[in-house]
Amino acid sequence: MQYVNELKRLIKHPKKYPMYRITKLRYVFLHILLLSIILIIPNTIQYFQITQNISTLAHEEVDEIPKFKIHNNEMKLSEEKIIKLNDKHSIVFTKSQQFKMKPEHLVVFKPQDIEISNYNDHTKISYGSLSSVIHDEKDLSSFIDTINASKYFYFSIIILLLLFIQFMSISFKIAIVAFIGHLISILLNKKSRYMTWFKMVTFIISIPTLVLLLGILIGNALLMFVSWCIIIVGIIVTAYYLPNGKKRASLKQ
């Protein structure tokens, strides 16, 4: 398969990288898609866990939800409570806005917003955005039942949205890095075309993407920095080994 040959070229000497100029765009976009899929794996796993735990909450623990009222986009809670869904995950209802979310917390209902676990990060949702849906604990129970009835549909929509955002993000990243590589090549008086750089960078960022994924999985910001360092070194080395451009004509005295 031609795509496999494109991947094999990546482990060859950087002098071979200019051959990416003949790579068909469908293989370039296929590679970007695969990189996007790799990077959304952590969030996919996390949202799948949330989807599964929604079922537990809907079927077994929905009666454990404490009484509350949403007034002026703020939750007025009757009592603080932690609802354990299994040995690892739980949902928290707290009266403290300063409550710190922990890895085992899937969702935390705070006075001013809701925090949803997003792997090593979290997403905040204001009560205002849910004002037409949730007003009290009964509405929340009904909302959970509705979500649970079509949980895999909503899960698919979320994953497709994540994939689209990641695809656009990587494409933009490649476009910027390719432009920088193109400028470096011009400064070094090397033969250079922007589209060749775009194709080269698409494959050059493969290993840095895996390093970035590892950094996300273990929550190590240093590895995220290392991934960028690998990209920078890869761009400089590739530019160095590009064929020389035409010699500039010297001005006669």
**DSSP string across 15-65:** GGGGGGGGS-HHHHHHHHHHHHHHHTHHHHHHHHHHHHHHHHIIIIIGGGP
For the ranges 46-55, 104-113, 194-203, the maximum mean pLDDT occurs at: 194-203
Q: Is the pLDDT of residue 82 over 70?
A: yes
pLDDT value at residue 148: 80
pLDDT over 90, % of the chain: 40
Whether the pLDDT of residue 36 is over 50: the answer is yes
Give the mean pLDDT of the chain. Answer: 86
Task: Give me the residue spans of the domains in the chain.
Answer: 2-42+157-240, 68-135
The answer to whether residues 235 and 181 touch, using CB atoms and an 8 Å cutoff, is yes
Pairs from 46-50 (Cβ < 8 Å, separation ≥ 24) = 46/117, 46/118, 46/119, 47/155, 47/158, 47/159, 48/155, 49/89, 49/106, 50/106, 50/107, 50/116, 50/117
The highest-confidence range among 9-13, 124-128, 233-237, by mean pLDDT, is: 233-237
Pick from 5-9, 104-108, 146-150, 202-206 the range whose average pLDDT is largest.
202-206
Sign for the pseudo-dihedral over CA of 5, 163, 45, 98 = positive
Q: Kindly tell me if the per-residue pLDDT of 61 is higher than 80.
A: no
User: pLDDT, tens digit, for every residue of 94-123?
Assistant: 999 989 888 888 889 999 998 887 656 677
Q: What is the mean pLDDT of residues 127-152?
A: 83
pLDDT for residue 81 is more than 50: yes
pLDDT at 250 over 60: no
Tell which residue, 219, 75, 199, has the closest CA to residue 134. 75
pTM value?
A: 0.76
Angle CA 24–164–50, to nearest 5: 140
